Chains A and B, each alone.
Chain A
């Protein structure tokens, strides 16, 4: 028992590692604040394009979304990080994470937003247009607010996954929470810093998971009724 405590919950090592791990936490928060809006913008662009009636746009778009649903985000990240330098383009870990998230999470956000927009009856746009709003205004003030509300649980669920996904940054040396914890672990030869990181992730994301659990349950029950 004593050994387990020493290996995983070592207070001395926890104290020494705390500043390093907290720095990682700060970077994870900043990284999330960057990649979530980036993914949302990517998703919004895809959702707008999906409104098009032309097959020439819809089909390639579906292929694009399926491509990123099939492609593991880590592979995408490594492809950018290790592959692009061979094309003379050295981007660095941070920029690679930004691009990979824009592409990958954009595809997921796009599917969700598209479903939301499609859930709004066509008559609403017509009514909005007939009151004098132009197409863009109708979209921004009438359709989108309702669409977002309809798919809020899905948006939140995806955002949770995106925040969790920022841990991939550790693979390309972005100093986020997991990376910092692993640094501290390799210096101290002790698993305590990684346990600290896990506890931090859990404490921050648990309330979101609880909330989602309730929202999803409610949605499923409404569907079955």
Chain B
């Protein structure tokens, strides 16, 4: 066997790949479910927090700022480990899926709140005053005047942040979640062959590369024209 053949036989072994393909695929399904759940929960709660913050109730705002700062400072993996290994001591044992989902959603929530808030406050004060003086209520002003403009300038930073945090689904492996990386790692130790890992790597690229390319397009499309 030539060197190249031996390399292929080790890293792209057809027999091993065929055997573990269903595992990787089921891992991919779990990764997609987790990613979607994180994005929906994180962005939604982040937006709600930013809207609550715009009401300007001081004690509530301090609390929001503190919580946001905490989840911006902590590494996501530390949050996951704390939730999964720590919470059972408090009588609440979330599954690996729930732990990873909760942790990543909290982290995304924090970054999203910050970005939405920056977007809301970047709209000049005159616009608030003008809208209110035409008879729009506070909620109407926020919904029809401020948010559409705020969302436009937040879209590029928000997409990048969302991708970066969603990639964190791989961290679930550390708490034995059976997503792509977890499935691939256990397949490697069962088969004593790295081919499943190569499949797992390919699966991540198939899932995330289109999103990254789309983000690049969005970035140029929504770039703020100076």
A interface residues with partner B (beta carbon < 8 Å) = 3-4, 7-8, 66-67, 69-75, 78-79, 82-83, 86-87, 161, 164-168, 170-171, 178, 182, 185, 190-191, 194-195, 197-198, 201-202, 205-206, 208-210, 213, 216-217, 220-221, 223-225
Contact assessment for A223 and B153 in the assembled complex, using a CB-CB cutoff below 8 Å: yes
Please give, as numbers and ranges, the residues of chain B lying within 8 Å of A170 by CB-CB distance.
Answer: 77
What's the Cα separation between A194 and B175 when bound, in Å?
14
What's the Cα separation between A161 and B77 when bound, in Å?
12
Contact assessment for B86 and A194 in the assembled complex, using a CB-CB cutoff below 8 Å: yes
Contact assessment for A213 and B70 in the assembled complex, using a CB-CB cutoff below 8 Å: no
Contact assessment for B209 and A66 in the assembled complex, using a CB-CB cutoff below 8 Å: yes
Interface of B is mostly: helix
Instruction: List the 7 closest A-B pairs by CB distance, nearest first.
Output: A7-B89, A70-B208, A191-B86, A224-B122, A167-B75, A164-B75, A72-B170
Residue among A72, A213, A216 making CB contact with B204, cutoff 8 Å? A72
Known: A161-B164, A170-B77, A194-B81. A72 touches B119 (CB 8 A): no
Query: Who on chain B is nearest to A202 by CB?
Result: B73
Residue among B72, B73, B85, B204 making CB contact with A70, cutoff 8 Å? B204
Give 5 pairs: A residue, B residue, CB < 8 Å, sorted on A.
Answer: A69-B163, A78-B197, A202-B70, A202-B74, A221-B122
Contact assessment for B73 and A74 in the assembled complex, using a CB-CB cutoff below 8 Å: no
9 extra interface residue pairs, beta carbon distance < 8 Å, beyond A66-B209, A191-B85, A194-B78: A7-B90, A8-B89, A66-B212, A82-B197, A166-B75, A182-B81, A198-B82, A201-B78, A205-B74
Please give, as numbers and ranges, the residues of chain B lying within 8 Å of A166 by CB-CB distance.
Answer: 75
Please give, as numbers and ranges, the residues of chain B lying within 8 Å of A209 by CB-CB distance.
Answer: 69, 72-73
Q: Which of chain B's residues 170-226 have a Cβ closer than 8 Å to chain A?
A: 170-171, 173-174, 180-181, 185, 188, 193-194, 197-198, 200-201, 204-205, 208-209, 211-213, 216, 224, 226
Instruction: Write the nearest CB–CB distance from A83 to chain B, whole angstroms.
Output: 5
Contact assessment for A216 and B81 in the assembled complex, using a CB-CB cutoff below 8 Å: no
Known: A8-B89, A69-B163, A75-B204. A213 touches B198 (CB 8 A): no
What's the Cα separation between A195 and B163 when bound, in Å?
28
What's the Cα separation between A217 and B50 when bound, in Å?
14
Contact assessment for A201 and B122 in the assembled complex, using a CB-CB cutoff below 8 Å: no
Q: Which of chain B's residues 35-68 have a Cβ closer than 8 Å to chain A?
A: none
- Check B10 for interface membership: any CB of A closer than 8 A: yes
Contact assessment for B167 and A72 in the assembled complex, using a CB-CB cutoff below 8 Å: yes
Please give, as numbers and ranges, the residues of chain A lying within 8 Å of B168 by CB-CB distance.
Answer: 72
Contact assessment for B114 and A216 in the assembled complex, using a CB-CB cutoff below 8 Å: yes
Residue among A67, A73, A165, A208 making CB contact with B205, cutoff 8 Å? A67
Residue among A195, A205, A217 making CB contact with B86, cutoff 8 Å? A195
Contact assessment for A165 and B197 in the assembled complex, using a CB-CB cutoff below 8 Å: no
Contact assessment for A201 and B73 in the assembled complex, using a CB-CB cutoff below 8 Å: yes
Please give, as numbers and ranges, the residues of chain B lying within 8 Å of A161 by CB-CB distance.
Answer: 164
Query: Who on chain B is nearest to A216 by CB?
Result: B118
Please give, as numbers and ranges, the residues of chain B lying within 8 Å of A79 by CB-CB distance.
Answer: 197, 201
Contact assessment for A224 and B153 in the assembled complex, using a CB-CB cutoff below 8 Å: yes
Query: Who on chain B is nearest to A85 by CB?
Result: B194
Contact assessment for A198 and B118 in the assembled complex, using a CB-CB cutoff below 8 Å: no
What's the Cα separation between A70 and B31 when bound, in Å?
14
Residue among B89, B153, B198, B212 making CB contact with A83, cutoff 8 Å? B198
Contact assessment for A220 and B153 in the assembled complex, using a CB-CB cutoff below 8 Å: yes
Please give, as numbers and ranges, the residues of chain A lying within 8 Å of B180 by CB-CB distance.
Answer: 75
Contact assessment for A8 and B90 in the assembled complex, using a CB-CB cutoff below 8 Å: yes
Contact assessment for A83 and B197 in the assembled complex, using a CB-CB cutoff below 8 Å: yes
What's the Cα separation between A170 and B118 when bound, in Å?
34
